[in-house]
Amino acid sequence: MNASPVPQPSPAAPAGPRDGRRLRVLAAMSGGVDSAVAAARAAEAGHDVTGVHLALSANPQSFRTGARGCCTIEDSRDARRAADVIGIPFYVWDLADRFRQDVVEDFVAEYAAGRTPNPCLRCNEKIKFAALLDKALALGFDAVCTGHYATVVLREDGSRELHRATDMAKDQSYVLGVLDERQLAHAMFPLGDTRTTKDEIRAEAEARGLAVAKKPDSHDICFIADGDTQGFLSRHLGTSDGDILDEDGSKVGTHTGAYGYTIGQRKGLRLGVPAPDGKPRYVLDISPVDNTVTVGPSEALDVTALTGIKPRWCGTPPTGPGTYTAQLRAHGGETEVSAEFADGELRVAFAEPVRGVAPGQAIVLYDGSRVVGSATIATTERARPAVPSSS
Amino acid at 255: H
Residue 219 C-alpha from the chain's centroid: 12
Mapping DSSP to helix (H, G, I), strand (E, B) and coil, where does residue 326 land?
Answer: strand
Asked whether 89 and 79 are in contact (CB, 8 A), the reply is no
Cβ count near 349 (within 10 Å): 14
Amino acid at 268: G
Q: If phi over 0 gives left and psi between -120 and 50 gives alpha, with beta otherwise, what is residue 278?
A: left
- Report CA torsion sign: 247, 376, 29, 41: positive
Asked whether 69 and 236 are in contact (CB, 8 A), the reply is no
Asked whether 162 and 154 are in contact (CB, 8 A), the reply is no
Per DSSP, what are the bridge partners of residue 164? 150
Q: Kindly list the catalytic residues.
A: 123, 222
CA 136/CA 116 separation, integer angstroms: 31
Q: If phi over 0 gives left and psi between -120 and 50 gives alpha, with beta otherwise, what is residue 350?
A: beta
Give counts: helices (H), strands (E), the chain: 9, 17
* DSSP track, 251-262: EEEEES-GGG--
Element (H, E) at 334: strand 334-342
Asked whether 188 and 14 are in contact (CB, 8 A), the reply is no
Residue 170 C-alpha from the chain's centroid: 13
